[in-house]
Chain A
Amino acid sequence: MTRVLGCLAVLMPPYVWMVTFFALPIIVVFAISLSDAVVGIPPYAPLVDWSSARFLGDVENYTFLLGDAYYLDGFLGSIRIAAVATFICFLIGYPMALAISRVRPTRRLPLLLLLMLPFWTSFLIRTYAWITLLNSNGIINNALLNLGLRETPILMLYTDFSVYLGIVYAYLPFMVLPIYAVIERHDLGLLEAAADLGAKPFRSFLSVTLPLSIPGIAAGCLLVFVPALGEFVVPELLGGSDFLMIGRLLWTETFQNRDWPLAATVTIVLLVLVVATVVSVQRIVDMRERPL
């Protein structure tokens, strides 16, 4: 009996935490998404008419959302931006992770620290810093103009480029770290075996190192793609005014239009999207791991 109580005591805190701060809010958001916007506080209609005991919710918001080109563009835009940014992060992050894992063990920690160093400053401030760099009269353009390399400033800020730059910059460490963690554990004897069997270095990489780092790549991609999908700060600060990302739409619906039910619907759809991505990536990785 005391053992059961002991187990419960250990297991309860995480469960309570998950239910209170994760499951309940999602249920609330889901409930709001079934309701309609009204002017008032709270700005949505009650779901149940208690006097007649009738359920008033419907899925009208969902049908509206999926039929509306504006929101669809927002979703697709977000997916595209997140996917491209993830891919760029992979292209930059994989060689970084590989390089860090191949230097002498004593040099790895300093390199990892350098990678983590930006986290000591607030994400928001670092993103603002990019504005002063990329602006038409910012540091980069001024330098180019003063050196006579350009007649007119390059338009960098408030473009797709600046959004990609901001996201890649912000999330690169999340790509590097999981890949590093996997590659660092690789048995270098396997590369010797590959060379011994006649594989040139690049083919060894393609057939041994790369396949064996897939779990790290998958984790890194998820860690970049998922937050990038709902990214708000970067497109808001660095993106153009016509730049559509779902995070911005959410902001607009919640704070400007005060259409909480629609915002809640966007949230739920986004959540489903994220869960679907995570589950399918996990499936793919599992399938590779499973013996044939």
Chain B
Amino acid sequence: MGTPQGKTQVIDAPSRGNPNTAAGTEPIISLQGVSCRFGDVVAVDAVDLRVDRGEFFSLLGASGCGKTTLLRLIAGLEQPDTGRILLDGEEMAGIPAYRRPVNTVFQSYALFPHMTVARNVAFGLRQENLPRAEIAQRVVETLALFSIEGLAKRKPAELSGGQRQRVALCRALVKRPKILLLDEPLAALDRRLRERARFELSAVQARLGITFVMVTHDQEEAMSLSTRVAVMDAGRIVQQDEPRAIYDRPVNRFVAGFVGDANLIDGTVSQVSGGAIGVDAGLGVDVAAAHAAGIAPGDPVSVMIRPERIRLVTGASDSGGVTGRVRGKAFLGNAWVIQVVVAGERLIDVRLIGEESGAGLSPGHLVTLSWPAEAAVCFAREIGV
């Protein structure tokens, strides 16, 4: 590509792709300022995206945020209005879908109803005019990857949802694409099946080393499978990072709320000292949070604390912390969620791990909540939000 690598690496998170392709620093997918509109609706708005080789990358967002359109732009099923799409270093403008080095697992699976499973899977290879024997062999190999060789002669109408999903995966993977695009591949499965399919997907990706780009609205799915996640909202990528980083350090309220449970406390910065800040949120004491770039005393901010990062002590405590009263609790099997009222009206959820952890608490108990400053993330709050 010949672009200065130093620059792109400053912008993007450090890559942590497949080690055996570490030599290729060139990203497998690179989107630069890509926009796509349908009439008056801007589906994808000036998106920059970089996916490295061997990554399992997820596009996470609510429905209508443009994540599927972004996937279809990469596949060549939609054309961008502006911007460049490079796949494996090659400019994709004017390259039709059937010549792109990607294959897609569609949300509806889009299996050909008039063909058997074997013919469905062979379809992509037949377009390359490979010898029959080779096609047959690769079809069997791919079906074996998902242990569904026995379904080869069935038609899609005779398959269960889980079987169809595997056939769709086989059909896309049999061509050994450089990139596999998955549009909500697990959404149509029921809960138990979904969990199994998730592990299967992860195992196949690790085994084949193909770059996966998955669209999903399920944050748990994105978190558990991906090397990196891009959170999308209203056609834009809001944050693009490792799952841990997105979970621990969301860049704004939207990401914080979309990815996992979050307590959000609005206040004003009262002091900045080194790596930590104090925020006056009207809770009696200053709320501690990690310092974020560009935050100065007097700024309106939101502080986000994950429920499981909060330490709960019964009774009042002298060592700082916010005091409140237990309002209610819920048993989750391996944890408790305790709802605490602070400053008379605000609710803070606390998650206590362990079966016995919350057993002794009951509504009305006086408790003190505290957390390490680095567990609380603060972001600038626009006035009026």
Contacts and interface: CB of A to CB of B under 8 A. Distances in A.
Contacts of A201: 98
A6 interface: no
Contact of A190 (B97, B99, B102, B110): B110
Interface stretch (B57-65, B152-160, B277-285, B376-384): B152-160
Interface stretch (A7-15, A52-60, A192-200): A192-200
Contacts of A69: none
A212 interface: yes
B191 interface: no
Contact of A196 (B75, B113, B114): B75
B112 A193 contact: yes
B98 A199 contact: yes
Interface string A170-212: 0000000000000000010110111111111101000110011
Interface stretch (B123-131, B243-251, B356-364): B123-131
A196 B98 contact: yes
A130 B97 CA distance: 48
Given A198-B124, A199-B127, A203-B127, A193 B175 contact: no
Interface string B152-182: 0111011000000000000110010000000
Most chain B CB within 10 A, of A189, A195, A197, A207, is at: A197
Nearest to A289: B114
A195 B98 contact: yes
B128 A198 contact: yes
B15 interface: no
B158 A288 contact: no
A126 to B, nearest CB: 38
A291 interface: yes
A236 B106 CA distance: 56
Most chain A CB within 10 A, of B77, B98, B111, is at: B98
A199 B103 contact: no
Contacts of B18: none
B176 to A, nearest CB: 12
- Indicate the size class of the contact surface on chain B: 20 to 34
A149 interface: no
Nearest to B101: A198
Contact of B175 (A190, A192, A197, A288): A197
Interface string B85-116: 00000000000111100111010101111101
B140 to A, nearest CB: 17
Contacts of B128: 198
Most chain B CB within 10 A, of A193, A203, A208, is at: A193
Contacts of A212: 113-114
A188 B157 CA distance: 18
Contact of B104 (A196, A199, A200, A211): A196
B153 A292 contact: yes
A211 B114 contact: yes
Contacts of A194: 112, 123
Contact of B97 (A187, A195, A211): A195
B123 A196 contact: no
B33 to A, nearest CB: 25
A189 B123 contact: no
B69 to A, nearest CB: 13
Contact of B77 (A190, A196, A288, A292): A196
Q: Which 3 A-B pairs have the closest CB atoms?
A: A197-B124, A193-B110, A198-B127
Interface of A: 187, 189-190, 192-201, 203, 207-208, 211-212, 288, 291-292
11 contacts: A193-B104, A195-B98, A196-B97, A196-B102, A196-B172, A198-B128, A199-B127, A200-B98, A212-B113, A291-B157, A292-B155
Given A196-B103, A198-B124, 19 more contacts: A189-B108, A192-B77, A193-B110, A195-B77, A196-B75, A196-B77, A196-B97, A196-B98, A197-B98, A197-B127, A197-B172, A197-B175, A198-B128, A199-B98, A199-B127, A211-B114, A212-B114, A291-B155, A292-B155
